[in-house]
């Protein structure tokens, strides 16, 4: 029970832009990784949502993630590089059936 209390207190004092690794016995604060953001009290980085990316470490909230440019898309969360061009052919799976 003492460990759980210690970890909880550790997370409370972790400042924004940093995270304090959950289930760790260290009080070290680690800067939030690129592709994610860390509000105050974070135990782990939170990935930037789909349709956004961040190549900058140390974001404090989701609004700091960069939206993809028009015509581009980030299909996954936590992207660190700018979004790729949309390939319309990969968005649709077309199946043709012919009856003779």
Separation of alpha carbons 73 and 27, rounded Å: 38
Separation of alpha carbons 48 and 28, rounded Å: 23
Give whole-number Cα distances, 90 to 63, 79, 83, 85, 94, in Å. Answer: 29, 19, 15, 11, 10
- Domain ranges for the chain, please list them: 2-91
Q: What is the pTM of this model?
A: 0.68
Cα angle for residues 86, 78, 71 (degrees, 5° grid): 20
Going residue by residue through the chain (100 aa), what tens digit of pLDDT does each one get? 444 444 444 445 677 788 887 766 666 888 999 999 999 888 889 999 999 999 999 999 999 999 988 888 788 899 998 877 765 555 555 455 556 6
- Count CB neighbours of 59 within 10 A: 25
């Amino acid at each position: 029970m003492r460990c759980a209390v210690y970890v909880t207190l550790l997370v409370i004092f972790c400042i924004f832009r940093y995270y304090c690794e959950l289930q760790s016995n260290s009080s070290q604060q680690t800067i939030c990784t690129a592709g994610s953001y860390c509000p105050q009290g974070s135990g782990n980085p939170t990935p930037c949502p789909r349709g956004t990316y961040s190549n900058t470490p140390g974001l404090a909230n989701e609004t700091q993630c960069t939206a993809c440019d028009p015509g581009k898309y980030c299909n996954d969360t936590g992207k660190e590089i700018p979004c790729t061009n949309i390939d319309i052919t990969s968005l649709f799976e077309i199946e043709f059936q012919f009856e003779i």
